[in-house]
Structure formats: C-alpha cells, structure tokens
Amino acid sequence: MYLSLENISKTFIGERHTVQALTEISFGVAKGEFVSLIGQSGSGKSTLCNLIAGLITPDSGEIRLNGQRINGQAGHVGYMPQRDLLMPWRTVLQNVTLGAEIRRQPTKAAYARALELLPLFGLAGFADAFPNALSGGMRQRAALLRTFLLERPVLLLDEPFGALDALTRREMQRWLISVWEHLQPTVLFITHDVREAALLSDRVLVLSPRPGRLVADVPIALTRPRREEDESFVRLQTTLLRALAASAA
C-alpha cells in the first residue's frame, strides 16, 4: 500500500484526564485510491489525520508513505482541516499559493500553475478576489486548491464540507469527485456522513467509538457517477450504518 498504518495507538495524558484516542489501528491506502473514514464524534478521526500529517506522534506503531517511515514528520502529506483558514487580507491567488511562498519556491511558476487550475476548481475570474467576496463553497474550493498546490502525494481532507448547507454540500461532493477523477490524487477523506462516504469512496473504513478501533473495511464496487436512488446504493448505506451501530454496541 502507498500509505500504510500498522498498529497505531495514541493516548493523550493531561493533568486531570487521560484519554485513549486510538488503539491498534492498521490499514492501507493504495496510490490514487479515494478512501473515506467514518465514525461517531470523538472516535479519533481527526487525531488520525494529525498523526498521518506528522503534527503529533503515535505512542506505538508505524506510519509509512511509499515505504518510508514518517512518524512525527510533517510536510509529507497535504492536509485540509474543517475550516478553510483563508487569510482575509490575501487574494484568492495569494492564498492558494501560500505553500509555495513558505517553501520559497519561484512565485511566477506558482502563480502560473494556480491560474491554470482555477477553472477546474470553479474559481475562474476570482484570482484577485478576497475571501469575503466568496461563497462558502468557493472558499472551500480555494482551500482545497491550496492543498492540491502543495503537490504532496496524499491528501487528508478532514470533513471539508461539514459547515456547508445541504445543497452546497451536495454540489461540492459532485465537484470533488470530478476533480479527483481529473487529477487522481490519493485521498483519505474524513466524514461522519454515511451517504457522503458511500457517494465518494472506493473504500470506507469504520472506526468504533473511543478508543477508536478499525471495525470494518468496506469496498465499494459501484460505478461513478452514483445514483442515490439505486437499490445498490441504498443497501451500501445500510451496510455502513449497521457497521457503525455494531461498533457502538
């Protein structure tokens, strides 16, 4: 597997409380695969993202990317958290090329690549706009473009559409799949929405409530675009819901 986790555990120790967030998590993601991770609130989904991103270090186990051990090493993956975190004083173009600026890469080349991708990300004509002029969906597209432009081999997307209204969220889901099919990145997508996971993914991983354990790995053989009214799609959602319910029992 391109990204692999083996027996990952993490406990947070505070002055008053100790929280065992994850225990013995093992799974892999193939190159170019779109994998979703679902679980109840507090099951450790965001902790897992932070571990893979190298922002925190596991207590035990190994995280490998293309065979290289990356425990506690930041900078190997692109990570988009739940909030877009766009800087209000920077234009869209300046926001999405922030990674290149931080890495001190040539500005001209970074701008050229960003301008090339703006239409694919639904932002044509908005290069010089400021974030306060963008809709919620456009802000998320800008944040995702910024993550893509980091040019990392794996993208971690932590509930990127969670704050959007239902109609915008559905639009963004369809758009994300079109971008993924065009650019073929390796994606680990965090969500608590079973329908969203079924709509987007090649596989769905199910975490138990805290401490998070991997309790199901569900492959999805449905072709894209997926029709939510099809019986096979409804059955898939039922399978995922049952896995979640069993994990909580």
Q: Is the pLDDT of residue 160 over 80?
A: yes
What pLDDT score was predicted for residue 61?
A: 95
Compute the average pLDDT of residues 155-160. 92
Say how many Å lie between the first and final Cα of the chain, rounded: 31
Compute the average pLDDT of residues 84-96. 93
Element (H, E) at 217: strand 214-219
In sequence order, the 6+-apart residues with CB closer than 8 A to the CB of 98 are: 87, 90, 146
Q: Is the pLDDT of residue 15 over 80?
A: no
Q: Is the pLDDT of residue 183 over 90?
A: no
Query: Where in the chain are the domains?
Result: 83-151
Q: Whole-prediction pTM value?
A: 0.90
Say how far apart CA 202 and CA 248 lie, in whole Å: 24
Q: Is the pLDDT of residue 56 over 90?
A: yes
Q: Is the pLDDT of residue 204 over 70?
A: yes
What pLDDT score was predicted for residue 163?
A: 76
Q: Is the pLDDT of residue 249 over 70?
A: no
Q: How far is CA 7 from CA 1, 140, 193, in A?
A: 15, 33, 26
